[in-house]
Structure 1
Amino acid sequence: MQADITILKKTIKINPNDNVIVALTDLKPGEILQHEDSTITLISEIPAKHKLTEVDIPTGGSLIMYGIKVGEALEDLPKGSLIHTGNVRHAVTQFGRKSEQYQWVQPDIDKFIGRTFEGYHRSDGQVGTSNYWLVIPLVFCENRNVEVIKHAFLDELGFGKPNPYKSLVSKMKKALVYGNLQEIDDITLDSVKDPSENRFFENLDGIKFLTHQGGCGGTRQDAEMLCALLAGYLNNPNVAGGTVLSLGCQNAQAELLESKIRAINKDFDKPLIMMEQQKEGTEAELLTKAIKRTFLALAEVNQNNRKPAPLSKLNIGLECGGSDGFSGISANPVVGHVSDLLVSLGGTSVLSEFPELCGVEQELINRCESLQVAEKFSQLMKAYAASAAAVGSGFDMNPSPGNIKDGLITDAIKSAGAAKKGGSSPVADVLDYGEYLKKKGLNLLCTPGNDVESTTAMAGSGANIILFTTGLGTPTGNPIAPVIKISSNTTLYRKMPDIIDFNTGEIISGEKSIEECGEELMEMIIDVASGKILPKAVKLGQDDFIPWKRGVSL
């Protein structure tokens, strides 16, 4: 779809078949737009990122964006009308079976043929972009013990994160003691020494501690899915090994985790330390033994170092969050171009967030490489939609207040733009939540649209880098997969430079093309994969981890 975009001075028309166009800038009532061979007189104010009708649309008429149906008019909409939640409702075209043979035109990959990144090679052929050790509990009862180990290791080994806010609180304490409360507003953050400057294990990128609220008390299916997710994390190429703490009596038994690991990788041979508190006795005995064994294992995995690997070893997750009306025009298509480049080079990309594929199902079904893959996607989408409806919800309730405020009026509008992250390559495979990557190419992974639940799942399926687009700004990261944050607009890039890594706003201003930005982003990915660039989420220690309990989450 990238080639279909027509950029005008004040509006963008995404697909030639659309009857709705997007405002590039704030537009005033009565303003006259010259659009293609006709003029549009604006009936009302159109804020930037919002949509207006290109033609008269009668009550019940379809609104078309990205070449598909994204809504239905609740009243007559004259040409030049602002569309909003009061005059448009979510509506999509129903999907069916795979109905056509998909033909794909691959992008030009000459710039990247033969290129490599410096990664950590695993015995099973996977290659990590990072080298982490995991400490994880099988049940929430062990969260405190995980935290004790965390505080014992991080600063002592140089894996802690600088915290200027401690200095801020110290200065405020002094101001209170000396009665100088009026000075608090003038206190500034101090730069503090980064503990990683004295990292003890130079080939280890960190120790990651994953706490959660599962493992017992829920359904047996919850325990099954949690163990499948944790098995995926331990098998992820960015992980060197792990320490697992079990209480002993919970649903998520150590044997269940081990069976899930073998189901993913029967030749799994990473060092894995399993400790059960009810067998070890006192807490001191458990923690002392766990810390000693973990330390010796860290020394072992520190012997691994980065070596060249082909780009085909990259597994890139495709995520969006805090989306705005420009996300589907700039950031998401750029990520889609990167996905197409990677697939053409023999690599793997993962598109998740099934509630945000509502309305584009038929396109994705037709892109599936086989009838079996298409049918699995269709069944997962229908089951997910039905489970949402069963509790009085639905995909139409997916857009957040922030999405709506910035122009994503219906779920279908949001979904059509979100799907652009998947580019245009064929769909090689469809994975249910907790399944691990098996095929090269574009994979669809069933997850909620919730940012953290989705990124958590992609890392559990084997993603070794995650691309995360945003139009409003979000601090989401992941413990083991470096997250590259990509802004849809330049205003956000300048406003939040502490969390944004890459800007695609120059597409909106007409300074760059989707292809140019995509190739620049690909270069950044290679540097991140090689450890030459640390994304902002990694620097800030944004280690978000939320397993999906298989209830309804949008």
Structure 2
Amino acid sequence: MPRVLQIDSRDNVLIALEDLHQGETVMIGGEPVVLPAPVPCKHKFVTENRAKGDPVAMYGVLVGRARQNIARGEVITVRNLSHDSAAFTSTRQTHPWTPPDISRWQQRTFLGFHRDDGQVGTRNYWVVVPLVFCENRNVESLQRAFEEELGYSAPPRYRRLVAEMAREYRAGKAGSGSIGVEPQSEAADLPRPVFEHVDGIRFLTHQGGCGGTREDSDNLCALIAGYLHHPNVAGATVLSLGCQHAQSAVLMEQLRRRNTSFSKPLVIVDQQTAGTEAALMEHALRETFHGLVQANQHRRQPAPLSKLTIGLKCGGSDGFSGISANPAIGHVADLMAALGGKALLSEFPELCGVEQSLVDRCATQEAADKFVKLMNDYAARARAVRSGFEMNPSPGNIQDGLITDAMKSAGAARKSGTSPVTDVLDYPEYAVTAGLNLLCTPGNDVECVTAQVAAGANLVLFTTGLGTPTGNPVAPVIKLATNSALAARMPDIIDIDTGSVVTGESSIESMGESILERMVDIASGSLKTKAEQLGQNDFIPWKRGVSL
């Protein structure tokens, strides 16, 4: 295994693939250099002297400037490197794309749920969602009523441990620490679901719909419409108070924009019209049950891989994200583009510094212009609240080698592969164009995945170097570790270990193909993701202009 890595010939930094010690000799450009200080694994050190103000390049792009003189071999940190990124315009310099070999995949199918509009789902869910936060309590009441009686309750994890500790406390033995945690031990005691072909009922709550900006309430309606239109959703129950900004009429208009012939069972109940809470709940319970009967009639059938839409996401990123998991799912994105499927690249604050390369990949000038406008508008909104993209890296990112936003962005953009950008979407638009789509979202893990699924992602590939349990209510989220140490430390949340790319045991292409194999199993329902097993059903609509 090599000890250091240069990603691009234009880079003037090397990545430490293992801890390097002060006084060690490292070959830089064929010449031995004695390291003046330790370089932790995943961090970078400069290959040439940098004077204050000099540029530092990684992934072939500008990722920062020296705050002070940096000696050859010296590790870069937040103290000696400041964020900087290259300027960009909407002028394209297009290049031909050579698609990857897809002969192995052209005849492959997955088993999915075929919808009347031609979409194919990887799961079959019923969704219950409020138009306004005032209805959260009623949604939660519906959840308690349905889940246990219909056999969808999650295993009562950890209750046995609490019960045993309570018994010990009453007996005067509290604090013995003798009770182990067995998260799945009571799963066998759960009843069998009444509707065996419905994968579950998903109960979504949020804090929006009224009291904020009209833009946020309108976007919320559009976001919910994306979930109702989503191929993994068989039908839905929507609770409305009645007087809120997020009106059911707005929701229906957004649904018609996505599907003029929407035919799924849809229950909308307005509390101020129903009168009493009991009347609201009885109507919602009865109509939802009838809808579940219809949803249970769906069966899995073969579908081509072109019917898959994948979200591309990273969170809890580290210094290996851009060299292992991210480029591996970038290869998957290229395979999907060549097969006629869709891939969604989001997290616009984490495209800072690589905008021009994405502009150059835009298939049309219209797409390039829209991308540039969205990036500039987003940056302006951030500045308006006294923030900026340069504030994006988290303490965990920095600790594990991602020093500036441009550096983080350059690695994050590798999730997109190399295919042309076929469309650019504003939040919360729905993806309809095959190929790579750019979707405007924040980098915030849950807000981004929530938006990707609202745009039609029926699977999400989520890379992480530090570990995160993020999931989604209706789309399987496949978690990929950038390094094997994380996969070993947090096996309950990691589905795929891409650490062998770092060690050189696997190529990016071979890892991408193995990821696609796993995707087919998960899409077909023969395998559940770790996030599904843990019940990670995270849902947070984006309040625009607040999140990075």
TMscore range, shorter length: over 0.9
Secondary structure at the counterpart of residue 181 of structure 1: coil
Tell me which stretches of 4 or more aligned residues in structure 1 moved more than 4 Å.
194-197
Counterpart check, 1:163 vs 2:146: no
Equivalenced residue count is 546
Counterpart check, 1:88 vs 2:81: yes
Equivalent in the alignment of 1:208: 202
Counterpart check, 1:452 vs 2:446: yes
Secondary structure at the counterpart of residue 143 of structure 1: helix
Counterpart check, 1:18 vs 2:11: yes
Q: Which amino acid aligns with 1:312?
A: S
Equivalent in the alignment of 2:406: 412
- Asked if 2 retains the 8 angstrom alpha-carbon contact of 1:51 and 1:407, the reply is yes
Q: Which amino acid aligns with 1:463?
A: A
- Asked if 1 retains the 8 angstrom alpha-carbon contact of 2:312 and 2:462, the reply is yes
Aligned match for 2:47, one of 43, 50, 54: 54
TM-score by length of 2: 0.98
Q: Which amino acid aligns with 1:108?
A: D
Secondary structure at the counterpart of residue 95 of structure 1: coil
Aligned match for 1:295, one of 289, 300, 313: 289
- Asked if 2 retains the 8 angstrom alpha-carbon contact of 1:41 and 1:79, the reply is no
Q: Which amino acid aligns with 1:68?
A: V
Equivalent in the alignment of 2:181: 189
Equivalent in the alignment of 2:262: 268
Equivalent in the alignment of 1:4: none
Q: Which amino acid aligns with 2:75?
A: L
- Asked if 2 retains the 8 angstrom alpha-carbon contact of 1:102 and 1:426, the reply is no
Return the alpha-carbon distance in structure 1 between the equivalents of residues 190 and 155 of structure 2. Answer: 9
Q: Cα 1:457–1:304, aligned 2, differ >3 Å: closer, same or farther? A: same
Q: Which deviations, in whole Å up to 9, do the C-alpha atoms of 1:315-364 show, x marking residues without a partner?
A: 00000000000000101000100000111111000000000000000000
Q: Which amino acid aligns with 1:72?
A: R
Secondary structure at the counterpart of residue 152 of structure 2: coil
Return the alpha-carbon distance in structure 1 between the equivalents of residues 91 and 255 of structure 2. Answer: 34
Q: CA deviation at 1:194?
A: 4.6
- Asked if 2 retains the 8 angstrom alpha-carbon contact of 1:471 and 1:488, the reply is yes
Q: Which amino acid aligns with 2:443?
A: G
Identity of aligned residues (%): 55
Counterpart check, 1:121 vs 2:110: no
Equivalent in the alignment of 2:328: 334
Deviates more, 1:406-415 or 1:71-80: 71-80
Equivalent in the alignment of 1:371: 365
Counterpart check, 1:39 vs 2:32: yes
Equivalent in the alignment of 2:481: 487
Q: CA deviation at 1:377?
A: 0.2
How is 1:495-534 mapped onto 2 (pairs within 5 angstroms)? 495-534=489-528
Return the alpha-carbon distance in structure 2 between the equivalents of residues 51 and 414 of structure 1. Answer: 13
TM-score by length of 1: 0.97
Counterpart check, 1:321 vs 2:315: yes
Unaligned runs of 5+ in 2: none
Return the alpha-carbon distance in structure 2 between the equivalents of residues 195 and 263 of structure 1. Answer: 44
Equivalent in the alignment of 1:423: 417
Deviates more, 1:363-372 or 1:58-67: 58-67
Q: CA deviation at 1:196?
A: 6.3
Q: CA deviation at 1:99?
A: 3.0
Aligned match for 2:221, one of 209, 217, 227: 227
Return the alpha-carbon distance in structure 1 between the equivalents of residues 373 and 538 of structure 2. Answer: 29
Q: CA deviation at 1:78?
A: 1.6
Return the alpha-carbon distance in structure 1 between the equivalents of residues 471 and 540 of structure 2. Answer: 11
Aligned match for 1:174, one of 158, 167, 187: 167
Equivalent in the alignment of 2:306: 312
Return the alpha-carbon distance in structure 2 between the equivalents of residues 440 and 536 of structure 1. Answer: 28
Q: CA deviation at 1:195?
A: 6.3
Q: Which deviations, in whole Å up to 9, do the C-alpha atoms of 1:229-256 show, x marking residues without a partner?
A: 0000000110001000111111111111
Return the alpha-carbon distance in structure 2 between the equivalents of residues 196 and 474 of structure 1. Answer: 27
Return the alpha-carbon distance in structure 2 between the equivalents of residues 19 and 386 of structure 1. Answer: 31
Q: Which amino acid aligns with 1:235?
A: H
Equivalent in the alignment of 1:383: 377
Equivalent in the alignment of 2:397: 403
Q: CA deviation at 1:542?
A: 0.4
Q: Which amino acid aligns with 2:327?
A: P
Q: Which deviations, in whole Å up to 9, do the C-alpha atoms of 1:382-431 show, x marking residues without a partner?
A: 00001111121100000000000000000000000000000000000000
Return the alpha-carbon distance in structure 2 between the equivalents of residues 505 and 20 of structure 1. Answer: 21
Secondary structure at the counterpart of residue 30 of structure 1: coil
Return the alpha-carbon distance in structure 2 between the equivalents of residues 545 and 171 of structure 1. Answer: 33
Aligned match for 1:355, one of 310, 334, 349: 349
Equivalent in the alignment of 1:102: 95
Counterpart check, 1:63 vs 2:56: yes
Unaligned runs of 5+ in 1: 1-7
Q: Which amino acid aligns with 2:55?
A: S
Return the alpha-carbon distance in structure 1 between the equivalents of residues 190 and 445 of structure 2. Answer: 28
How is 1:137-156 mapped onto 2 (pairs within 5 angstroms)? 137-156=130-149
- Asked if 2 retains the 8 angstrom alpha-carbon contact of 1:40 and 1:54, the reply is no
Q: Which amino acid aligns with 1:73?
A: A
Secondary structure at the counterpart of residue 158 of structure 2: helix
Secondary structure at the counterpart of residue 69 of structure 1: strand
- Asked if 2 retains the 8 angstrom alpha-carbon contact of 1:161 and 1:195, the reply is no
- Asked if 1 retains the 8 angstrom alpha-carbon contact of 2:23 and 2:34, the reply is yes
Q: Which deviations, in whole Å up to 9, do the C-alpha atoms of 1:7-55 show, x marking residues without a partner?
A: x621111111111110000101111012442222211110000000111
- Asked if 1 retains the 8 angstrom alpha-carbon contact of 2:330 and 2:416, the reply is yes
Secondary structure at the counterpart of residue 119 of structure 1: strand
CA RMSD of aligned residues (A): 1.0
Deviates more, 1:151-160 or 1:468-477: 151-160
Return the alpha-carbon distance in structure 2 between the equivalents of residues 337 and 104 of structure 1. Answer: 13
